Amino acid sequence: MISGLGVDSVEVDRIRKASKRWGKAFLRRLFTDREIKYCFSHANPYPSLAARFAAKEALIKALDAKALWKWKDMEVKRAGSGRPSVSLTGAALKFARKRKAGHFHISLTHDATRATAVVLAVH
């Protein structure tokens, strides 16, 4: 049973500019070490960072929540097949359990200028 749906889209340049302006502090506030490592393994990390940011925003929308937890309590992972998934820890996990959202389907897309994510929360 579907418990929520969230969609978000972000300009890649917004993430690039914020990263350049606030540096590692910005990245470490929003992304886990694994997310940062994965994104910076690409020649241009900013589309991947923007996609992860959009996924986290979409997840918040799917749970019908405000940002009640740390951004790093949400992590976008990538399977060997390339399929994205999301895992929750801390307050985000607790909130999702309260909302009876036990699993998330996630889709990401990006190009050089825009990143978009869709998150479907299910029981």
How many domains does the chain divide into?
1
* Other C-beta atoms lying within 10 Å of the C-beta of residue 95: 18
Q: What is the pLDDT of residues 73-122, one digit of tens each?
A: 999 999 889 999 999 999 999 999 998 998 999 999 999 999 999 999 99
CATH number at residue 51: 3.90.470.20
Q: What is the pLDDT of residues 2-41, one digit of tens each?
A: 999 999 999 999 999 999 999 999 999 999 999 999 999 9
- Quote the pTM value: 0.94
Confidence of residue 68 (pLDDT cuts 50, 70, 90): confident
User: What is the three-class DSSP state of 88?
Assistant: strand
Q: Which domain holds residue 104?
A: 2-122
Confidence of residue 67 (pLDDT cuts 50, 70, 90): low
Distance CA 120, CA 107 (A): 9
